[in-house]
Structure 1
Amino acid sequence: MDRISALRNVEEALRDFESGDSDLAATEQRVVTVLRTYATDFEGEDGVAPYQATGEGRAHGLVVVAESEAAARERVHDLLDEEQGTLSFDVDRL
């Protein structure tokens, strides 16, 4: 899914919410589904790719875009405002 398709799908979900055809929970689920599909299909420029953190604690399930596994680990730490080595998690390319 490209960026334009993702945006159109999110806009459609929001229109349905605004018109009363969808409740907040259903709208959230649709938007999350669009974002997850976009992330897993993501083909970035300059060698970036999506990585997902797995493990215990706050890092589990986070998906970031990075140039390498090491950069993805650093980005997860930065997003969570945690020092390197304070969280235990692995990152896998999606």
Structure 2
Amino acid sequence: MAERFVNERTIETTRRMQEIASSIGTTVTALAVAWSRQHDFVASTIIGATSTDQLLESLAARDLVLDAETLARIDQVDAEIPTPMTEDGLRRL
């Protein structure tokens, strides 16, 4: 199943998001949750955790506010790699 989600584009997107998260001292998980909290068009954010550490990582985003520069960096990744999954992967969902 994971193969449809893993390709050069998803790996590069993940690498860039890790770089952004690291530059502000957080994790990709917290970055993603904080991003979704700051966008009104995201009606809800479903987090999943199989360990206390994973839950704490998601909850760390509770007080995280992404500044304009960080949001712009995320938008830039989205502009450069708009749909990281391949069309073939999307068709198989």
Task: Give the TM-score range, shorter chain.
Answer: under 0.3
TM-score by length of 1: 0.27
If each structure's strand is expressed as a fraction of its own residues, which one has the higher value? 1
Higher RCO by CA contacts (8 Å cutoff, separation 6 or greater): 2
Bigger CA radius of gyration = 1
TM-score by length of 2: 0.27
